[in-house]
Amino acid sequence: MHENMRGKEKMKGLIVKGKGKLRLVTDLDRPVPKEGEVLVKVVAASVNSYDVESAAGNYDAYFKEYGVDEAVRTGLEFAGIVASDSVKFKEGDAVYGYVHLITGCKAHAEYISLPEAYLARKPERLSFEQAASLPTGVLTSLEVYETLAAGSSGKSTLIIGAGGGVGTSAVQIAGILGFEVTTLSSATQMKGLKNLGVEHVLNYKDVALSSLKDKFDIVLDLSTRYTLEDCRPLLTSGGKFIPALPDESNGGTGETDDVGYLMLMEGNGEKLIRVNKWIEDGKLETTLDQIYAFEAHHNAIERLAVRGKLGKIVMSWKIAV
Ligand SMILES: NC(=O)c1ccc[n+]([C@@H]2O[C@H](COP(=O)([O-])OP(=O)(O)OC[C@H]3O[C@@H](n4cnc5c(N)ncnc54)[C@H](OP(=O)(O)O)[C@@H]3O)[C@@H](O)[C@H]2O)c1
């Protein structure tokens, strides 16, 4: 295909049709890579609560502010095959990555174009579906346990909501970086977390946060249920509370030393290359809850709300309904 014919070619993708509703369409324009970008044929992409929020219009003001007019507004992480040579990648390379939270293409489409710097080669050991389940979790966890925890005097962490999509990566990355990990999760997630190497696994239905006697250097709340006030008694001197969705009501935007502001804005191929080594060495495992066909996107989104599941939900173009 001649270069200037690209963009006239059509592709499938999910678009927002009615508030909160997604629809699979087949006549979207295939994106054309800008300078520094690479075109990827998506094989699999995961489903996150971001997708529900974006479909509900929660990010529309930001899309407008940044002049984003992409039809596809869901899908943060993916794995796929490079569709044409770029500076760093060759056509046919298997890659995976995380997009930009607001600007540019989103991954619930057959093709995306994005900055080369956002992706890395897919570890051979992982299927496309497994690889698509990783970037949000590992990049968020590195942000927490390297960047925000830098200068932390000790290495103990409590991860609240550890059995979910981010948590199943967070427990492993924290462990790799030398943290002693305690988790609060559903009963059904406890065995899976133990298998991922967590030593201290607590059931949030049996153990109230306020009853915990231990102190932690990092309290990461992925459940989005708790505030700085709830967690302050659990912090060591110099410890940090890091809420998954920082806002004024949970104290996550306060510029105090006991809060870490978490916001994963864009992909980072360099970090994924480091993650690849942990995967190849068998130190980091993926945790897939379910894989759906893109055609069954309603089921994938519905599954997000089911309590007690372990790990990530992924959609794949390879699967027929
Ligand atoms: N700021 C950032 O940069 C950033 C980056 C990535 C993700 N996030 C956010 O992080 C959050 C977590 O993402 P995720 O993909 O891991 O979501 P998820 O898969 O829904 O995981 C959330 C977990 O919290 C658990 N939970 C609910 N109530 C709890 C409680 N009272 N005590 C302990 N655990 C409880 C849930 O267990 P049940 O199944 O039992 O309900 C679930 O396993 C989301 O809100 C996401 O938007 C933020």
Looking up residue 230, the CATH number of its domain turns out to be: 3.40.50.720
- Over residues 130-150, the mean pLDDT reads 98
Statement: the pTM of the whole predicted model exceeds 0.75? yes
Atom of ligand 1 nearest to the CA of 167: 16
230 and 153 share one domain: yes
- Which residue owns the Cα nearest ligand 1 atom 15? 165
pLDDT at residue number 152: 87
* pLDDT surpasses 90 at 320: no
pLDDT in tens, 255-283: 899 999 999 999 999 999 999 999 999 99
Q: What percent of the chain has pLDDT over 90?
A: 94
Atom of ligand 1 nearest to the CA of 50: 47
Assess whether the C-beta atom of 167 lies below 6 angstroms from ligand 1: yes
Pick the closest to residue 148 from 238, 231, 248 (CA basis).
Answer: 238
Count up the domains in the chain and report the number.
Answer: 2
pLDDT in tens, 56-109: 999 999 999 999 999 999 999 999 999 999 999 999 999 999 999 999 999 999
- Residue 260: what are its φ and ψ, rounded to 5°? -115, 130
pLDDT in tens, 181-197: 999 999 999 999 999 99
* pLDDT surpasses 70 at 1: no
- Over residues 281-310, the mean pLDDT reads 98
Assess whether the C-beta atom of 308 lies below 6 angstroms from ligand 1: yes
Assess whether the C-beta atom of 287 lies below 6 angstroms from ligand 1: no
* Ordered DSSP codes for 126-174: S-HHHHHTSHHHHHHHHIIIIIITTT-SS-EEEEETTTSTTHHHHHHHH
| CA of residue 161 to ligand 1 center, whole Å | 5
Host domain of residue 223: 136-243
- Which residue owns the Cα nearest ligand 1 atom 2? 263
Assess whether the C-beta atom of 216 lies below 6 angstroms from ligand 1: no
127 and 49 share one domain: yes
> Among 243, 277, 303, which residue terminates a domain?
243
**Residue 31: DSSP 8-state:** P
DSSP H or E segment with residue 262: none
Residue 43 covered by a domain:
yes
110 and 15 share one domain: yes
Assess whether the C-beta atom of 165 lies below 6 angstroms from ligand 1: yes
Residue 21 covered by a domain:
yes
Q: Is 113 left (phi over 0), alpha (psi -120 to 50) or beta?
A: beta
* pLDDT surpasses 90 at 306: yes
Pick the closest to residue 220 from 261, 253, 257, 255 (CA basis).
Answer: 261
Atom of ligand 1 nearest to the CA of 225: 31
| CA of residue 164 to ligand 1 center, whole Å | 6
Assess whether the C-beta atom of 140 lies below 6 angstroms from ligand 1: yes
| CA of residue 91 to ligand 1 center, whole Å | 36
| CA of residue 65 to ligand 1 center, whole Å | 28
> Among 243, 266, 299, which residue terminates a domain?
243
Residue 93 covered by a domain:
yes
> Among 192, 208, 243, which residue terminates a domain?
243
- Over residues 121-139, the mean pLDDT reads 98
Residue 273 covered by a domain:
no
**Residue 217: DSSP 8-state:** E
* pLDDT surpasses 90 at 253: yes
Assess whether the C-beta atom of 245 lies below 6 angstroms from ligand 1: yes
DSSP H or E segment with residue 2: none
Considering the chain, what is the average pLDDT of its residues?
96
* pLDDT surpasses 60 at 310: yes
Residue 184 covered by a domain:
yes
- 319 with 292: CB under 8 angstroms? yes
* Ordered DSSP codes for 184-212: EE-HHHHHHHHHTT-SEEEETTTS-GGG-
- Which residue owns the Cα nearest ligand 1 atom 1? 263
